[in-house]
Amino acid sequence: MFETAEIGQKIDKNVFRKREPEIRTALIEAQRALRARGVGVIIIVAGAEGAGKGEVVHRLATWFDPRGVETHAFWDETQEEREHPRFWRYWRAIPRAGSIAVMFGSWYTRAILDRARDASDDASYEADLHRIAALERMLTDDGVLIVKLWFHLSRNEHRKRLRKARSEGQAVSPHTENILEHYDLLMRLAERAVRVTDAQAAPWRLIESTDAKYRDLTAGETLLAAIRARLEERPTAPSIPRDPEPEPDAVTVLDRVDLSLSLSPETYRTKLDASQRRLSNLAWEARTRGVSTIAVFEGWDAAGKGGAIRRVSQAMDARLYRTVPVGAPTDEEAARHYLWRFWRHVPRSGYMTLFDRSWYGRVLVERVEGLAPPEAWQRAYLEINDFEEQLVDAGVVLLKFWMHISRDEQLRRFRERQETEWKKHKITAEDWRNREKWGAYRTAVDDMVARTSTPDAPWTLVAANDKRHARVQVLETFCTRLRDALDGKV
């Protein structure tokens, strides 16, 4: 495949001088239009070490208006990055709507190098590439423009350059020297990467890099064409019909929850104490062994999410966990893919994050209230499963609780809250409005559980009409899952 980029293309100095100002002007215009339209752009600058990626990055920095461009170099992983799921570092670099991220190195670099160094095998290399394709699809679905440039140099050209650099006593990057030795292998792996991830929404462009002027001008023109094509696109009408009205009496997974379950105060006290003590020890053990945990709490308004979370967190040393209440996104969050804000809070090895509401908002409130278009929330099941799979693959213990109460019980609690001074703030007009949509939420919960309960990340439906029973169920589930994980049973 790369032979197509070994045909000796070059550009005359005078031609370059004439065309450079044109392309600069056009890129600046394009950048302004992107900003106005709120389109984020990721430019992946890939290719073998020594092909001039760095020079291209510098050139782009000159051509674009630096306000609104960030360059991210993915190179050595920091300790903090190693203690998170692999893609955590890439999610940190996702550009805001309307701005540009130049990725020097990228999610491809590590996958290719790991395989080259035999740190992964063919199967996991394929899995890496498919995960990359999924990430790119997720971002392009969200409206991000991804431009992928592969800069190629023939083996001879590599050899020539290295020789020249050495003879002139130039500083040579530590990786450059290895290229020639492993040239065939790297090209084979690169070719495979390009093949698997050459999607319509994020196609690759190979650029011959022997002549710097040809290389830079072609990069600029490719970018420009991609941006223009994107700006000319009409927003397509949602292809999927609006959510049908739910059958009010349809049987859902929630009907299987036995809401009559309850505990006496004495049994509650005993069981709560025992499981909190157990969890306290498990949390220390998890920290010592570097096992991290994420627990998601979803449920009806007033179902007791907060109370359950507190019973869990009270059991643990406050240094071992963080609670993240999920409310309205900040502007930095709203300007990016909706999963970005959750990636931010993925704990490092040995620690725990408790989410009070979560990414499931996408397929619950955003679906029911029409805050996300149907194609967005329908896509979200896949995106969420992929996200959670990455967490689990990285060794995270993932717990998901749906706190279930009956509609009557909810009414009773709403009234009680209104009557308790320090609980009043918990009940708003919005809660009453949500209550009216009970049927639609039931359908949404049913779909959510059906589509996102996986063996490694199952939903626990909590019978929460009795708060005591609910809390003990949550704590005991917590302990069991954590124990199993620490015993390697998952």
Question: Applying CB under 8 A, which residues contact a copy of itself?
Answer: 21, 24-25, 27-28, 32, 53-54, 57-58, 61-62, 65-71, 73, 75, 78-80, 83, 104-105, 170-171, 173, 277, 280-281, 284, 306, 309-310, 313-314, 317-320, 322-323, 325, 327, 330-332, 348, 356, 420-422, 425-426
**Alpha carbons 209 and 194: distance in angstroms, whole number:** 17
Closest CB 276 distance from a copy of itself, rounded Å: 11
* Residue closer to a copy of itself (CB basis): 182 or 310: 310
Q: Name the minimum Å distance from CB 79 to a copy of itself.
A: 3
CB 432, min distance to a copy of itself, A? 19
Judged by beta carbon, residue 324 or residue 449, the one nearer a copy of itself is 324
Residue with Cβ nearer a copy of itself (6 or 81)? 81
CB of 80 to a copy of itself, least distance (A): 4
The full length of the chain comes to 490
- If one counts every other C-beta atom within 10 angstroms of the C-beta of residue 18, the result is 10
Q: How far apart are CB 284 and a copy of itself at their closest, in Å? A: 5
70 vs 121 by CB, closer to a copy of itself = 70
Q: How far is the CB of 471 from a copy of itself (least distance, A)?
A: 13
Half-sphere exposure of 126 (CA within 13 A, CB side): 2
Instruction: Give 71 or 453: the residue with its C-beta nearer to a copy of itself.
Output: 71
Which one, 183 or 284, has the nearer CB to a copy of itself? 284
Nearer to a copy of itself, 316 or 461 (CB): 316
Please, what is the minimum distance in Å from the beta carbon of residue 7 to a copy of itself? 27
Q: Could you tell me if 230 and 33 are in contact, meaning their C-beta atoms sit under 8 angstroms apart? A: no
